[in-house]
Structure 1
Amino acid sequence: MRERKFLSGNHAVAYAVKYIQPEVIAAYPITPQSSIVEKISQFVANREVDADFIRVESEHAALSACYGAACAGCRVFTATSSQGLAYMAEMLPYVSGSRFPMVMPVVNRSMAAPWTIWGDQQDAISQRDTGWIQLFVENAQEAFDTCLQAYRLAEDPAVLTPVMVNLDGFVLSHTEELVDLPAPEEVQAFLPPYQAKYAVDFTNPTTFCFGATPEVFAEYKYHQQAAMEAARQKITDLAVEFEQLFGRNHGGLIKEYSCEDADYILVTLGSFTGTARTAAQKLRAMGKKVGVLKVRSFRPFPAHEVARVLANTKAFGVLDRNYSYGNEGALFTEIKASLYDCAVRPPGLNFIGGLGGRDIRLDEFEAMFTKLEQAAGEPGTVKAVNFIGLR
């Protein structure tokens, strides 16, 4: 039977795990992720989740334990944040290069120093080239739904690639909202038990993570990229299938709001999308043709979809909760590259905000749209990279 619960983003993830029923869970606490594995440990203790729950000594050990269990053909789960993800960095390409289809929520938190527990997206963005699919969610419902989709995606034989499900620390992880939970049998129909394509088999020995010589290494990387390309269509298809079964569509690679006739579009990633959408609604009521484009998949990056939406705007803006030091926001770089082949490239502005957990207010979003109008009407009068709310 379907039900509705008042859940934080972290507990929405934990409930998704309850439905998914992984066989091995490796847990190490780190703020603001800790309440995910704490809640899951309760499910395991109460026998609501039938899994081996491994209490490891570090984040590196957590991902290593998942790697070993994946070699044995198990469906696995772990979660982390910030410095914990950095501690896992050695293992991230091991998992993706070995084509193990695990899912790891990352509760996004700023990277030290200075040390802070508050949220931005620097942690996940800094690991964008490790071969993991990266999906970003807007709210607790999307966190729950995306975890279900992520396992279907990762375990697809054409993909076999690990997935990070990214949710913003505190503003999403610890804020509670109503979440619709499906009936268990509905999830079982959508996500059947995992049957590993490759696993340790003593009757048919297989080598995992062997050394590769120059004669074969490039071919492995080529197939890894081909799998990432296959994931593009799978993400879109899963969004459609999920809507048919559960009545919710959070977007495939992207999700548009009032972009069809928009002169000015703001591109977002994660939980600030809701505030941006509210600002756009307010400005629309005043006669301004503005829209919001949510990027849901950062890897694989939806370059063609972004170009289709932005090519005919008068100006676009990109909100980054990260910074690629010495350059600009990482999302802005990707968006600009997407427009390279367009016959006419509209001017773009990069807005850096929400770092270290700082809020971006509604009036600041409205000011971003105002700057886009200025950039279109008076080119060169607005800086390309703009830090929001500096004191």
Structure 2
Amino acid sequence: MSIRERMSGNEAVATAMRQINPDVMPAFPITPSTEVPQYFSKYVADGNVNTEFIPVESEHSAMSAAIGAQAAGARTMTATSSCGLALMWEMLYVASSMRLPITMALINRALTGPININADHSDSMGARDTGWIQIYSETNQEAYDNYIQAVKIAEDPRVMLPAMVCQDGFITSHAVENIELLEDEKVKAFVGEYNPEDYLLNSARPISHGPYDTANFYMEHKVQQAHAMTNARQVIKEVARDFEKLTGRKYSFFEEYKMKDADVAIVIINSSAGTAKEAVDQLRAEGKRVGLIKIRVFRPFPFDELKHSLTGKKVVGVMDKCEGFSGAGGPLFAEVRSALYDSHDRPEMFNYVYGLGGRDVTVESIKKVFNELLYEAHAKQLIEDQVEIAYNPELLLAEVADFEVGRVYRHLGVRG
């Protein structure tokens, strides 16, 4: 029977870690992830886990210690945010290239500068190509569930890649919500023991970690990493099915919300999806056919599944809580648009960059986005149907002009 509790997202992740009982946890505090190692260090002090807790001098050291511990054969976890992740940058690549299934709680926070401690996705999106699996969480419940699943996914012999489980700083990390916890023994049984094939302390099978790779071998190792990330797709689905049998809670690469008959849709990540669902409900009550897709797994990216879900929609807005500085939109927009490139009936695509540095996004903000998308859908229909050309060409030209302007990505909520 599940255990009903109330806790913050940080405590929920720390609880998942306690239930799994890792061998090693190196960590350095940084807002808003500090509470995760804080809670966990108390579990260590109280004897609730058998974990070696290593207080290090920086986040670079935290990931370095995690790499050493995992390479030695120890199940290892850590947590960080924002500039802490940036300080780990070099070591993120080392962890993934050495095929070490470290799991990390990443509490999303804006990167400097200017200095800002509130939530956006510039930290995790900046690390999207480091070779780590990335899973995102709308609620505290999802942060807890995702972390348990991430350990099993990362350690699968077909994968053996590190994984980060993301949630929005302060919005979920510090907000208290109702949550259903599994019993400790069920979590331990679900995750299982960590039994690596190769590790440094195995004297019967000596190995080397992190050697110099010449041109004759480097590319082969990168191909192996790429194949492992591809393999993760199947493992993610298998683990989700097993988790649903255990809990009744269903997970996939993304969640579709009222998408079946939607004319327009938005694609969004993390806690803002809850706000967007309320906007969808209100607009549905007005008779507007809108829906949303909430991305859960960003790496590996669900190209085929998204293409299937969005093909045939009239207009799609992609919500990026991160500026990509590409001059053409945010990173989520680039991935979603790429997935739809060869679709036989692809929708018009618009990008909204929002919520940077913790800027509020409200139900009204999301409704504004939807209404703009509905307007664009109307303009697209006018163009397709050639309506009113003979009767009112000025009207159609105005519609087309606005439609073309709509192709430019927008910074939602910017004054002026």
Q: TM-score, length-normalised on structure 1?
A: 0.98
Q: Paired residue for 2:187?
A: 187
Alignment of 1:214-225 (within 5 A): 214-225=215-226
Given residue 32 of structure 1, which amino acid in structure 2 is its aligned partner? P
**Mapping 1:131-146, distance limit 5 Å:** 131-146=131-146
Could you give the per-residue CA deviations for residues 219-261 of structure 1, whole angstroms, max 9, x where no partner exists? 1111110110011121122222111111112x31111011111
Question: What amino acid sits opposite 2:218 in the alignment?
Answer: F
- Asked if 1:39 corresponds to 2:66, the answer is no
Q: Is the 8 A contact 2:97 2:131 kept in 1?
A: yes
Please give the residue correspondences for 1:305-384 in structure 2 after superposition, counting only pairs within 5 Å: 305-327=305-327, 328-378=329-379, 379-384=403-408
In the alignment, the residues of structure 2 paired with residue 118 and residue 29 of structure 1 have an alpha-carbon distance, to the nearest angstrom, of 16
Question: What is the rounded CA distance, in whole Å, between the counterparts of 2:27 and 2:188 in structure 1?
Answer: 24
The aligned runs of 1:127-276 (5 Å cut-off) are 127-200=127-200, 201-249=202-250, 251-276=251-276
CA offset at residue 204 of structure 1? 2.6
Task: Tell me the residue number matched to 2:57.
Answer: 57
> Which letter does structure 2 place at the counterpart of 1:230?
N
> Which secondary structure does the structure 2 equivalent of 1:78 belong to?
strand
Q: Which runs of 5+ in 2 are unaligned?
A: 380-402
CA contact (8 A) 2:96 2:162 kept: yes
Aligned to 2:81: 81
The aligned residue for residue 22 of structure 1 is 22
RMSD: 1.0
CA distance in 1, matches of 2:50, 2:189: 19
CA contact (8 A) 2:198 2:205 kept: no
| Partner Cα distance (1:257, 1:129) in 2 | 28
Deviations 1:359-378 (A, max 9, x none): 10101111111111122222
Which of the pair has more CA radius of gyration?
2
Letter in 2 for 1:99: R
Question: CA–CA distance in 2 between the matches of 1:130 and 1:383?
Answer: 30
Match of 1:377, SS state, is helix
Aligned residue for 1:79, secondary structure, equals: strand
In structure 2, what residue type is equivalent to 1:384? Answer: V
Which shifted more, 262-271 or 232-241? 232-241
Matched residue type, 2:231:
A
Query: Could you tell me which amino acid in structure 2 is paired with residue 174 of structure 1?
Result: H
Give me the whole-angstrom Cα distance separating, in 1, the residues matched to 2:408 and 2:261.
Answer: 24
- Whole-Å separation in 1 of the counterparts to 2:236 and 2:369: 30
Deviation at 1:51, TM superposition (A): 0.4
What's the secondary structure of 2:61's corresponding residue?
helix
Aligned residues: 390
Q: Deviation at 1:119?
A: 0.8
Q: Distance in 1 between matches of 2:177 and 2:54?
A: 30
Query: What amino acid sits opposite 1:120 in the alignment?
Result: D
- Structure 1 residue 381: Cα displacement: 4.1
**What's the counterpart of residue 399 of structure 2?**
none
Please list every run of at least 4 consecutive aligned residues from structure 1 whose deviation after the TM superposition is greater than 3 angstroms: none
Counterpart Cα distance in 2 of 1:210 and 1:365: 50
**Which residue is equivalent to 2:409?**
385
CA contact under 8 A between 1:268 and 1:294: conserved in structure 2?
A: yes
Cα offsets for 1:131-183 (capped at 9, x unmatched): 00111110000000111000000000000010010110010111000111111
Separation in structure 2 between the aligned mates of residue 199 and residue 146 of structure 1, nearest angstrom: 26
Pairing 1:111–2:111 present: yes
Report how far residue 2 of structure 1 moved.
Answer: 3.2
